[in-house]
């Protein structure tokens, strides 16, 4: 047993087996039950560690959960539909998209991050990023003749959350890498996009009309769209917010189960 437990691929069993062995002796477990308990513990711990890794890489903003999202302030968003998107995997399996539109402060980022968090906890890989940050990285990759590789590396994420597609740009290089990303993920991997402007104003994002139409066509082909045109959530909550002691975390973390 000692040789087996020294295997770094079985860390949970190594830590748990003395306690489980003592319990098995005390309660008279048969060997099969003892071994099954060890294996089950290892599987559970592997799942927990995997979720922790995926949550760390997701870079989700902290404190954004479905439980803390104010659905009463956004009556046009169905709570049942949002919960279903967070719990079911059919849309991710077919590479469908989720698009959130509305003015600043309407809760788009909160809802996007909350759905992303729920999906990570359900075993999916998610990456949250500001659109401008990702576009800059893809531009740098293009200059290094590595754009195709950079886009391919994003395939490991079942859902890519592009927050704030509000910036206006006339730079063809910027908009073309964004379009290439949308095209590469089309019907393969899902996108969740938040944007202040409706599609009618996307000419300010994709200055080329043909590119605008092609981008919109790919995004909406298999998509759920939430219109969130409400008063600023941040402005409302500013009057109610009470800042707790200590420095808040920089990104979402798992809550303790104890």
Q: How far apart are CA 90 and CA 94, in angstroms?
A: 7
Q: How far apart are CA 141 and CA 127, in angstroms?
A: 18
| Complete edge-to-edge strand list for the sheet that includes strand 97-101 | 126-130, 159-163, 190-195, 97-101, 223-227
Residues in CB range of 15: below 8 A, 6 or more apart: none
Q: Which two tokens stand for residue 86?
A: 């967070």
Q: Which two tokens stand for residue 45?
A: 């711990």
What tens digit of pLDDT does each residue of 4-42 get? 444 556 665 666 666 766 776 676 777 777 677 667 766
Question: Which SS3 state, helix, strand or coil, does residue 135 take?
Answer: helix
pLDDT score for 230: 59
pLDDT score for 250: 60
For the beta carbon of residue 170, count every other beta carbon within 10 angstroms: 9
pLDDT score for 13: 63
For the beta carbon of residue 78, count every other beta carbon within 10 angstroms: 13
- Could you tell me which residue, 206 or 81, shows the higher pLDDT? 81
DSSP at 254? P
- Give the chain's domains with CATH numbers: 2-56 (no CATH), 60-238 (3.40.50.300)
- Could you tell me which residue, 154 or 53, shows the higher pLDDT? 154
Q: Tokens 């045109």 sit at which residue?
A: 229
For the beta carbon of residue 147, count every other beta carbon within 10 angstroms: 19
- Considering the entire predicted model, what is its pTM? 0.75
DSSP at 227? E
For the beta carbon of residue 2, count every other beta carbon within 10 angstroms: 6
- Which range, of 47-51, 52-56, 127-131, averages the lowest pLDDT? 47-51
Q: Is the pLDDT of residue 147 over 80?
A: yes
Q: Is the pLDDT of residue 116 over 60?
A: yes
Question: Which SS3 state, helix, strand or coil, does residue 130 take?
Answer: strand
What tens digit of pLDDT does each residue of 56-82 get? 999 999 999 999 999 998 888 999 999
- In order, the DSSP letters of 139-195 are HHHHHTT-HHHHHHHGGG-SEEEEE-TT-----HHHHHHHHHHHHHHTTTSEEEEEE
Secondary structure element (H or E) that encloses residue 101, with its range:
strand 97-101
């Amino acid at each position: 047993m000692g040789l087996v437990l020294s295997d770094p691929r079985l860390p949970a069993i190594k830590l748990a087996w003395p306690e489980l062995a003592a319990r098995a002796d005390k309660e008279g477990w048969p060997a099969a039950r003892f071994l099954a308990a060890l294996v089950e513990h290892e599987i559970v711990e592997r799942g927990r560690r995997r979720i922790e890794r995926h949550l760390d890489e997701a870079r989700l903003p902290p404190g954004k959960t479905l439980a803390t999202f104010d659905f009463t302030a956004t009556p046009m968003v169905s709570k049942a539909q949002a919960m279903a998107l967070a719990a079911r995997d059919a849309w991710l399996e077919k590479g469908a998209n989720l698009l959130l539109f509305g003015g600043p402060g309407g809760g788009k980022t909160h809802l996007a991050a909350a759905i992303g968090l729920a999906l990570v906890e359900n075993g999916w890989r998610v990456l949250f990023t500001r659109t401008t940050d990702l576009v800059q990285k893809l531009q740098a990759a293009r200059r290094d003749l590595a754009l195709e590789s950079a886009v391919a590396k994003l395939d490991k994420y079942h859902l890519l959350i592009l927050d704030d597609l509000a910036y206006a740009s006339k730079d063809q290089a910027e908009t073309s890498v964004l379009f290439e990303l949308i095209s590469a993920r089309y019907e393969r991997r899902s996108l969740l996009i938040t944007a202040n402007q409706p599609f009618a104003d996307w000419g300010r994002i994709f200055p080329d009309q043909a590119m605008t139409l092609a981008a919109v066509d790919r995004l909406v082909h298999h998509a759920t769209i939430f219109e969130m045109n409400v008063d600023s959530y941040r402005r409302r909550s500013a009057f109610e917010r009470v800042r707790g002691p200590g420095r808040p975390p920089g990104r979402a973390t798992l809550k303790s189960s104890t």
